[in-house]
């Protein structure tokens, strides 16, 4: 089965940058998407970003309104990772970040966070504070 392992996280000041990595191992389907989620203390888990496994014209990404323009997700096929680059960090970005894989989807639509994600990593804590 597919296995995901997040790395990165830590403490960053407001306005700073941080990068998370999601390493993919084990068996993988031909088509799937990898999404980042986050959950702040006492809050519901929310979608952050989505990226699919298709290159060329079929490639797609999607972002939540809260992070658009500040976060970027990309795939590194050589390293078999999905990255989440976070800039202009805000205190409300604080939370536990996890990556998840959905084999049932091959495209990142705006409602990517509603997909059935069969595989989840256990991500690091990201704290944004002075």
The model's pLDDT over 42-100, given as tens digits with 9 standing for 90+, comes to 999 999 999 998 878 888 999 999 999 999 999 998 999 999 999 999 999 999 999 99
Burial (CB < 10 A; 0-12, 13-18, 19+), residue 116, is: exposed
User: Radius of gyration over alpha carbons of the chain, in Å?
Assistant: 14
Token pair for 74: 């990309």
Model confidence over 4-15: pLDDT tens digits? 999 999 999 999
């Amino acid at each position: 089965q597919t296995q995901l392992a997040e790395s990165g996280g830590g403490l960053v000041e407001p306005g700073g940058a941080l990068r998370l990595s999601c390493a993919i191992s084990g068996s993988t389907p031909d088509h799937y998407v990898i999404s980042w989620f986050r959950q702040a203390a006492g809050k519901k888990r929310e979608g952050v970003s989505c990226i699919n496994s298709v290159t060329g014209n079929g490639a797609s990404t999607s972002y939540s309104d809260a992070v658009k323009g500040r976060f970027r997700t990309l795939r590194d096929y050589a390293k078999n990772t999905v990255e989440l680059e976070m800039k202009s960090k805000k205190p409300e970005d604080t939370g536990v970040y996890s990556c998840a894989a959905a084999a049932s989807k091959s495209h990142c639509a705006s409602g990517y966070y509603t997909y059935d994600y069969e595989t989840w990593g256990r991500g690091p804590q990201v704290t944004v504070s002075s």
